[in-house]
Amino acid sequence: MFNQVFPDAVITETSTPSEAVQQLETGKFNLLVIEASNHSTENPLLNIKRIRQKYPDMAILVFSHKDENSLALPVIRAGADGYLLKYASLADFTEAVGSLLKGEKYLSPQLRQKLMNDIITGNDEQYTGANVSLTPREREVLDGLIKGSRISEIASGLGIHNSTVSALKRNILAKMKVQNVIELAEKMKN
């Protein structure tokens, strides 16, 4: 699909996010398209954060089969510049890539409309964590916890100590008024 729209593009494909990170070190890339998949054992949010920290000027588009409402905002918070469903039209794909290459952000018209409607109607708790104020670092840890990452994986991905992640986890659980990660995940779904 990419070559149809951008015939002069040089494309490098990898099978895993880890391979993508290795490829990024070999040259300069303008755009990274990440496929978010249930089949990967790697946490896409931590990979996006890692890539964003190392390559702040590169555009990142997440391409997924998952419903925009469940994954779009977490990946945007993690540092992606855009989110597109795999079954999006060629026109939507072209618009998304074009926007990102111009330094803009991209959300589908459907997701933009949903966000606006939720904000207008006051139904935006899902985007603010049930009105609980979390620091940016707590949000990063929360994203990892919700994805099922271990403390050590989150710490490694964020470049901090395990003990710091554990302390942040305790703060999150207290602020969210839950006892464990399972209760936390349930609360975040609602």
**Res 161: pLDDT:** 95
At 27, phi and psi to the nearest 5? -170, -175
- Where do the domains of the chain lie? 2-121, 129-189
Under CATH, which number does the domain 129-189 receive? 1.10.10.10
**Res 190: pLDDT:** 56
**Res 28: pLDDT:** 85
Say how many C-beta atoms besides its own lie within 10 A of residue 4's C-beta. Answer: 9
**Res 12: pLDDT:** 83
**Res 95: pLDDT:** 92
Question: CA–CA separation, 79 vs 9, rounded Å?
Answer: 23
Question: CA–CA separation, 16 vs 151, rounded Å?
Answer: 22
- Using CA atoms, how far residue 151 sits from 22, 26, 47, 126, 141, in Å, is 24, 30, 15, 24, 9
Q: Whole-prediction pTM value?
A: 0.62
How would you write the pLDDT of the chain (190 residues) with one tens digit per residue?
677 777 787 788 887 777 888 888 888 888 988 887 655 556 677 788 888 888 889 999 988 876 555 677 778 878 899 988 878 888 888 999 999 999 999 988 777 777 777 767 766 555 554 456 778 888 889 888 888 889 999 999 999 999 999 999 999 988 888 888 888 877 776 5
Residue 49 near residue 89, CB atoms below 8 Å:
no
**97 CB-near residues (< 8 Å, 6+ apart):** 2, 5, 6, 31, 61
Token pair, residue 158, equals 């964020």
Under CATH, which number does the domain 2-121 receive? 3.40.50.2300
